[in-house]
Amino acid sequence: MDEKSYIIITGASSDMGAALSKQLLSAHNLILLDINENSILNTVSMLKSIDTQSKILYFSIDFNDISAVGKTFQDFLKKHDISNISGLVHIAGIAPVLPLKSTEIDDWYKIFNINLLSAVEIIRVLMKKQYKQSMKSVVLISSVAAHFGVKAQIMYSVSKAAIEAFVRGAAVELAPIRVNAIAPGRVKTNSMAVFIDDTAEKFESKHLLGSGSAENIADILYFLLSEKSSWITGQTYIIDGGVSVNALMNEK
């Protein structure tokens, strides 16, 4: 009988999701969720080329269809008779660049659905008795943007600030399950390639240690899932290469 617990990763086909999956592969079974089925199949294929023995389950899900997220997720767990789940990492998210005057209410609904509320729906399922007893750690991805005003990214900043508020409240309600967040600075990933321009390079230069990598973030996520973080809950760790302490950040 396989006694490994399952770790759930949303946004699993992202660079961060793939990097974390590789770190977890030998010690845990994985449940990988992503909106893009082809991308997640590529991630699973990559992982199986590394370790053919580990159990990797996956399915595509529309995180914006908030009314269906919880049911779809619970149906998947029932179908595969899964109960031994020890962790959840919510990486799925979007970061639209849109000035406030150009936003519409549906834009706000969408970013909150994907960045926060889809995680809430998954967590609500995991708080059912048959899953809750094995749960140990929940980690959500915030951003340094939650702590600064960023032009044309007000929706993103607000959604990430809401994640940090949720983490504090959920840590109180769900104890002894640990609930934490990390707030990355600029991380070089495929999804950020669209922002590689003069402005992005200037912002990157404000990071005292340079821009980060998906592996830098995966290292912290792995720690927060592990028993080495057994006395940490309700916290947001800023992992940003020093950009948030750089007094010269706003200089031209």
Question: What is the CATH classification number for the domain harbouring 98?
Answer: 3.40.50.720
Which pLDDT band holds residue 151 (cuts at 50, 70, 90)?
Answer: confident
CA distances from 8 to 31, 90, 104, 135, 177 (A): 5, 8, 32, 11, 15
Domain count, the chain: 1
CA distance 28 to 2: 10
Structure confidence at residue 194 (pLDDT):
43
Structure confidence at residue 150 (pLDDT):
83
- pLDDT digits over 12-36, tens only? 999 999 999 999 999 999 999 999 9
Residue 244 falls inside a structural domain? no
- pLDDT digits over 158-192, tens only? 999 999 999 999 999 999 999 999 999 988 866 55
Q: Which amino acid would we find at residue 142?
A: S
Residue 26 falls inside a structural domain? yes
Residue 250 falls inside a structural domain? no
CA distance 13 to 231: 30
Structural domain boundaries, residue 232: 6-239
The catalytic residue positions are 156
Residue 249 falls inside a structural domain? no
Q: In the numeric block, which tokens belong to residue 34?
A: 């992503």
Global pTM reads: 0.93
When pLDDT is averaged across residues 49-76 and rounded to a whole number, the result is: 96
Structure confidence at residue 195 (pLDDT):
46
Residue 41 falls inside a structural domain? yes
Where residue 242 falls (left for φ over 0; alpha for ψ -120 to 50; beta otherwise) is left
Q: Which amino acid would we find at residue 96?
A: P
Residue 182 falls inside a structural domain? yes
The residue with greater pLDDT, 246 or 72, is: 72
Residue 36 falls inside a structural domain? yes
